[in-house]
Amino acid sequence: MISKLLSNLLQLFHDVIPARNMEEFEQRLTKAQEREDLPALSKIYYDLGVHCMKNDDPNRAMMYLSRSDSIFSSRDDIFDQVKESVREDCSDRIGELEELPLLTNQIPEEIEQLAGQYLDDLRIRIWGLFTISRLVQVGSRLSVLEGCEVLGELGTAVDLMFRSFQEPISQEEYQFLFDVCNELYDLGDSECFTDMTRQVDVPNSAPIQAFDLNGLLTLTELNLYIDSHLRLLSGGPKNSDAETGVIACALLPDYYLRSCKDDLSKLPQIQREIERIQSDLDFICSQFTWQDAAERIAAYKELDILSVFRLK
């Protein structure tokens, strides 16, 4: 019997996949989940991605193919069990999709260009820290899932990194950031991350899965941002380049692509997040004070970006 959570996910597939293909996908998906067969799950995601590309749905194609790639790249034993032809075609298709004018391609590219042309190292880092602050409530929700506890530490990590811009932090605090950085890396390769049957309820919206953070490779970008910050603290700016990849990660495209039928760029939640990214850019280009930045971070840490309503 298909679990309630799995049934909800399959219902979403009905919205984007013709009915004649659904029975096969349902059977394969159910068997893979019941057996905890990650190589099979990777192949199903690959097939879904190929289908979406053939049916002119490049955003969802990117989501499914990226999930497939994340699964078969997570462990050597899984990698070896997925056919080389599938792995190579999956990577080729992702490369092809990366050349398209998709929102998930354009926003990070624009951010990188703006940062490179107009911002110094510190302002880029603060821009990224604002985004991580908006992921605090998302991480707190997902941290109740076994194996995802590190996501509940994002708030403390934000506070420490922000304070370290102004004054030295202790060795114990540095070690805390080091541990969070490593645990985020490990989470991305764990089975609990790819388990789509484990979800957390979101008031007035669809449940969220840890695997939704695969969109824009959020865990990877969080790891890279914190690693860059640790190298900054230990060796100074010459030892570390500011990372821009995390700045777009609060868009959470996989969550909305999986749970909504609408055009990604037209969703109010996506539009509001783009507005926040622009507002943050305006802020860091202004003559702000540390107190101004602290107040902005505190507000973001309390913001529920998944809500269908605009929070005041």
pLDDT per residue as tens digits for the range 244-293? 999 999 999 999 998 888 889 899 999 999 999 999 999 999 999 999 99
Phi, psi of 206 (to 5 degrees): -75, 150
> 21-30, 48-57, 189-198: lowest mean pLDDT where?
21-30
Which pLDDT band holds residue 17 (cuts at 50, 70, 90)?
low
pLDDT per residue as tens digits for the range 211-228? 999 999 999 999 999 999
Q: Are the C-beta atoms of 32 and 44 separated by less than 8 Å? A: yes
Q: Helix H segments across 165-217?
A: 171-188, 191-194
Q: Is the dihedral of CA 269, 275, 278, 279 positive or negative?
A: negative
Which pLDDT band holds residue 26 (cuts at 50, 70, 90)?
low
Residue type for position 304: D
How many other CB atoms are found less than 10 A from the CB of residue 219? 22
pLDDT per residue as tens digits for the range 31-86? 787 788 999 999 999 999 999 999 999 999 999 999 999 999 999 999 999 999 99
**Nearest alpha-carbon partner for 8 in 253, 209, 144:** 209
Distances (CA, A) of 210 to 192, 200, 205: 8, 9, 16
CA distance 103 to 270: 10
CA max distance for the chain: 62
**Nearest alpha-carbon partner for 102 in 246, 234, 263, 226:** 263
| Residue bearing tokens 């080389």 | 84
pLDDT attached to residue 133: 98
How many other CB atoms are found less than 10 A from the CB of residue 206? 18
